[in-house]
Amino acid sequence: MTAAIELKGLRKSFGPTEIIRGVDLTIGEGERHAIIGPNGAGKSTLFHLISGRYSVSGGTVSLHGENISNLPPYEIYRKGLSRSFQVTNIFPNMSVFENVRCGLMWVRDYKYSFWHLVDRQKELNARAMEVIEEIGLTSRRNIPAGVLTYAEQRALEIGIAAAGGADVIMLDEPTAGMSHSETDQAIELIRKITVGKTLVMVEHDMGVVFDLADRISVLVYGEIIASDTPENIRNSKAVQEAYLGAEAEE
C-alpha cells in the first residue's frame, strides 16, 4: 500500500531562519492524522509546504507516491489534495452557493469553459446543493459569504475544501475560535465529509484531536518528535515534556 502523503527530509527556511528542519512523515490511505504542537512550531508552514502555497527548501513531498514538491497549488489540487485555511479564506462577495459551486467546477471538468452556462448544469448545481446541505447552510445559500457568521464561514471553508471530492483533505485548525456547541457540530461535519478519505488536520483543541484522530504527530520547533496513536501520545513522556507539559504550565 502506498502512503497518501509521504514527507522525506522536508525543510523550509525563510532567509537564515529554518522553520521546518527535516520532517519525515508517512500518512497512510484513509488515515485521520492530526498534527499538534506549540505555537510557532511550524504546523501551518508544514501545511503550506504540502499544499503548494510555499516552495520547498529541501526534501520532498509525495502524494500517492508521486513527487509534488514545488508544484503550484492548483496542480496539487488536481492530483487530489484539497485544503482549508486557518484564517477564513472564502470568496466574500459571492453567494454561499457560488462559493461551493466554484469548488466543484474543476473536478467536474468545466475548466476555463466559456461555452457552458453554469445555471444550466443540473448535476453540478445539485451536487453543490448537497454539499451546502451537508454543511448546514441551506437556508443561507443565497447571501454573500462575507456576511455569514464566523462559525458559518468556517463551515463554508470546510465545504469548499471538501466539495470537489479530493481523497486527501487537509484542515488547518477547523474549530479555531468556535464555542463548545459549534465545535461539536464541526467535528460531526468533519467526520461526515471525510468518510473513506485521508484527513490531515492541525488542531489546538485536544478534545477534537483525541476524538477524531487515528494517529497524532507532534511537531516541535520544526521537527516531529513523535508520531503514534492517541493513546501512546497521551502517555509519552517526551511529548508531555515538550508540549502537553508546557501547555499545563500556561
Residue whose grid cell is 501520545? 233
Q: Which stretch binds other proteins (CB under 8 A): 36-44, 66-74, 176-184, 217-225?
A: 66-74
Nearer to other proteins, 39 or 139 (CB): 139
- x/- string (CB under 8 A) for other proteins, residues 143-172? -----------------xx-xx--------
Cα dihedral across residues 39, 63, 27, 83: positive or negative: positive
Work out how close the CB of 8 gets to other proteins at its nearest, in angstroms, rounded to a whole number.
23
* Sheet of 5-14, strands arranged across: 17-27, 5-14, 58-63, 66-67
> Rounded to an integer, what distance in angstroms lies between the CA atom of residue 128 and that of residue 34?
28
Cβ atoms of residues 233 and 31 within 8 Å: no
- 213-232 positions binding other proteins, by CB under 8 A: none
> Rounded to an integer, what distance in angstroms lies between the CA atom of residue 69 and that of residue 56?
6
Which one among 13, 55, 67, 93 touches other proteins, defined by CB under 8 A?
Answer: 93
- Report how many residues bind other proteins under the rule CB under 8 A: 48
- 97-116 positions binding other proteins, by CB under 8 A: 98, 101-103, 105-107, 110-116
Please give the single-letter amino acid code of residue 106. Answer: W
Cβ atoms of residues 74 and 63 within 8 Å: no
Binding stretches for other proteins (CB under 8 A) = 51, 53, 72-74, 77-78, 82-83, 85, 89-94, 98, 101-103, 105-107, 110-120, 122, 125-126, 129-130, 132-133, 138-139, 141, 160-161, 163-164
